[in-house]
Amino acid sequence: MIFPPILGALALAGAVRLSLDRLGWDRGLGELLVGLALALFAFAAFAYLAKLVRRPRVVVEDLRVLPGRAGLAALTMGGMAAAALLA
């Protein structure tokens, strides 16, 4: 699944934005990274939702194997990270 790397990108973007703010530097690069990471997360979540609409049993199939479970866990954590970045 693609969600674990996206979760890492969300966390990295948040860390860069916070670091630039704490150092007193221009936050532009941090905001750009946050925007890119959020757009990537939104696209991936929409694609998974479209997959879910086409095949409702995909969640059960993903929960059977460890990479699928990790992806679904990263999807939910990514939602929380995205909400934190938007707040």
Q: Give pLDDT tens digits for 25-78.
A: 999 999 999 999 999 999 999 999 999 999 999 889 888 998 889 999 999 999
Q: What is the pTM of this model?
A: 0.89
Residue ranges of the alpha helices (H) in the chain?
Answer: 3-23, 28-54, 58-64, 66-86
Phi, psi of 65 (to 5 degrees): -115, 155
Alpha carbon 19 to chain centroid distance? 20
Domains in the chain, number: 1
Place of tokens 């939104």: 42
Task: Specify the pLDDT at position 62.
Answer: 87
Calpha distance 48→12 (Å, rounded): 23
Structural domain of residue 42, as residue ranges?
3-86
Query: 1 pLDDT exceeds 90?
Result: no
Q: Which of 39, 34, 46 is nearest to 85 (CA)?
A: 34
Query: 10 pLDDT exceeds 90?
Result: yes
Task: Specify the pLDDT at position 38.
Answer: 98
